[in-house]
Chains A and B, each alone.
Chain A
Amino acid sequence: MDKKGFFGNWGGAYIPEVLYQTFQELQKEYDRCRQDPAFWEEYLSLMSTYSCRPTPLTYAENLSNYFGGAQIYIKREDLNHTGAHKANNVMGQGLLVKRMGKKRVIAETGAGQHGMATATMAAKFGLECTIYMGEEDVLRQRPNVFWMEKMGATVIPVKDGSRTLKDAINEAFRDWVTNVDDTHYVFGTACGPAPFPEMVSWFQSIIGIEAAEQIIKYHGKMPAKIYACVGGGSNAMGIFKRFLDENDVELVGVEAGGHGIDSGSHAIRLNCPDASPGVAQGYKTMFLQDEDGQMKHTHSVAAGLDYVGVSPILSDLWEKKQVRFESATDNEVMEALDLTMKKEGIIPALESSHAFAGAFREVGDLSPDDAIIINQSGRGDKDIFTIAHAFEDPSWKKFIIDRGKEYSAK
């Protein structure tokens, strides 16, 4: 990151003046933490006692045999407390909030995982907490809404625009500019104004640091390829960062193909003619927007990937060809999820299932001497309603209908 917050052509801090001072303070505190080895130690200790770090690297023997190509390893971010990599970023920012002495945190959430993690952190650190969530996502991710509220957070459904992640971000910014004195905005992904993209990636980089050690231990050498799904880009940056200088490791980001790249109904920001450089939500990146610069509607079966922008760091790595980008459609994702459950007894989140789908497409072409790592950014439990719906599961449907009758009778 340069002094103005750019990574190559991307990033920056396009913020309203009212936030200028807060960003100065945030940047200063972040710089102090970066230079203080004790801070990282405190972070590691918190993550190993409150969450489940280091998370395991699981050898997926059945899937490896099934495809007959490279050995498949899965980095298990689903085993973090609250069920996703989001906790890594949130607990790190929580430590920062304590140092800055703010009393209240706010966050946007798409899949609800970041909101969950933030609500958890707020409960643990004794902070007031408000979560903004697109109305559409509230419906898609109902279990997470329930838990956030149970942990004492206020969840505000956002009814503007496309009623998804980007609208939740706008609303969180509106709250922040109003309550800037006592409130920190726990940005959930490697996007937004500087220093968020870099700071979030730093906290998430723990994924790759662990994975590098683990793969050497189990496989004896670096992996040939690493796959991660890309919403805003935080889990991808988290696992990629450690390997950026490893020239023999190919890094692959998998975006949400939705109904297909030609459908106009997807969230593919890189390698897609529907996207172009733009500035919104405080930063410059590739956005899905029209020729006037108005953001387009996006679609993905995975709420956490259903977003118009992407990390400026990933736009830079894409432009410099250090990361390859692919996409997986909703249908491919459901198939990959089904296969992973049946073969390994593991339930990836719909977001993470994109990484699996991307990897499954290519793994058969690799040599059995090679290994790949798939970053399982989260667990699928939160998606039970969406997955059951997509599989048209008859016994689940009956359960819901019966429970509905029971409630309406009262």
Chain B
Amino acid sequence: MQLEQQLRNKRKEKDILLMTHIVLGYPSFDANREVIKQMVENGVDCIEMQIPFSEPMADGPVILKANQDSLAAGTKVEDCLSFGAEMAEKYDIPFLYMTYYNIIFKYGEEPFFQRAAEDGIKGLIIPDLPPEMGESFLALADKYQVAPVLIFAPTSTNERMRELAGHGHGFIYCAARRGVTGKKSEFGQDFNDYLTRCRKATSLPLAVGFGIQSREDIEALKGKADMAVIGSRTISLVDSEGPTAVGPFIAGLR
């Protein structure tokens, strides 16, 4: 699919790519606009936009609160999709949606894929939809050429990784550790062994996320992964210093 090729092309020019995460409607769509502008201007390669859900089971405190506050402020799925279309139109980097399966299930799988494809969205990350539960989802992803991004975890066996890789497109999202988003990860020997296993299981680009916060973290991933994912860190930064702090932060990461 297009996403994989786009990332491969960018990867030729940089030794590691950067993907960032925002929660739509938090703290507001206007703030989202400014944050994304700052991200793109400072060289972010790919952005995952989370459509908030009331039960974000795989998210830690920062993103959980962002989901809840966004919904409390009245964010609707439709608002998120129009915003996503606007961003994909405006900027020349791939945009993805991250959300939980119920949002897509309620919208209707096929209408959702159709809409995402029309709006120029390049991939979907759905942490609570393993491929066993996603037969029709995966078929539609293929039909509409919107990449289903699958997740590896440190608990995944080699066999399981190969199975997941067979269903995934675009890239593989490697969760750096057990647990939810937000907390810091350690990049020791265990982590390196894990990434080696990931690399062996698939030829897709590897993104590493969960707890990546600093230039040092990203430095440590060079040569082992293709893309680093910054999630909770920028959300906290916007909370404490406002959207304009994002640009300098991103610029200082590589």
Contacts and interface: CB of A to CB of B under 8 A. Distances in A.
Given A161-B68, A177-B178, A281-B57, A14 B101 contact: yes
B68 A18 contact: no
Interface of B: 53-58, 60, 64-65, 68, 71, 76-77, 100-103, 105-107, 127-130, 132-133, 150-157, 160, 164, 175, 178-180
Contacts of A245: none
Interface in A273-295: 276-282, 287, 289, 291-295
A22 interface: yes
Contacts of A161: 54-55, 68
B180 A174 contact: yes
B177 to A, nearest CB: 9
A217 interface: no
Given A13-B132, A174-B57, A281-B55, A289 B102 contact: yes
A254 to B, nearest CB: 26
Given A4-B133, A173-B57, A293-B107, A160 B76 contact: no
A45 interface: no
Given A289-B102, A292-B77, 17 more contacts: A4-B132, A14-B130, A16-B58, A16-B127, A17-B127, A17-B155, A17-B164, A17-B175, A18-B178, A173-B57, A177-B179, A178-B178, A279-B102, A279-B128, A287-B102, A293-B103, A295-B55
Given A12-B133, A20-B160, A21-B156, A280 B55 contact: yes
Q: How large is the interface on A (under 10, 10 to 19, 20 to 34, 35 or more residues)?
A: 35 or more
Contact of B102 (A20, A160, A180, A280): A280
B84 to A, nearest CB: 15
B213 to A, nearest CB: 18
Given A4-B132, A15-B130, A178-B179, A20 B55 contact: no
B151 A17 contact: yes
A300 to B, nearest CB: 19
- 4 shortest interchain CB distances as A-B pairs: A293-B106, A178-B179, A18-B153, A293-B102
Given A17-B152, A18-B178, A161-B54, A279 B105 contact: yes
Nearest to A21: B155
B155 A14 contact: no
B76 A17 contact: no
Which of A13, A21, A177, A287 has the largest number of chain B CB atoms within 10 A? A177
A180 B155 CA distance: 9
A170 interface: yes
Most B C-beta atoms less than 10 A away, residue of A12, A170, A294: A294
B129 A22 contact: no
A120 B129 CA distance: 34
A275 to B, nearest CB: 12
A171 to B, nearest CB: 9
A379 interface: no
Contacts, number: 111
Interface in A161-187: 161, 166, 170, 173-174, 177-181
B155 A279 contact: no
A16 B153 contact: yes
17 contacts: A12-B133, A13-B130, A17-B164, A166-B55, A170-B57, A174-B180, A177-B58, A178-B179, A179-B178, A180-B155, A181-B155, A278-B105, A278-B106, A280-B100, A289-B102, A291-B106, A293-B106
B179 to A, nearest CB: 4
Contacts of A14: 101, 128-130, 133
B101 A22 contact: no
Contacts of A280: 55, 100, 102
A258 B77 CA distance: 29
A160 B53 CA distance: 13
B77 to A, nearest CB: 5
A4 B178 CA distance: 24
B129 A18 contact: no
Interface in A17-66: 17-22
Contacts of A12: 133
A177 B180 contact: yes
Nearest to B156: A17
Nearest to A277: B105
Contacts of B127: 16-17
A277 B107 CA distance: 12
Contacts of B54: 161, 294-295
Contact of A13 (B68, B133, B154, B160): B133
B154 to A, nearest CB: 7
Given A21-B160, A279-B101, A292 B132 contact: no
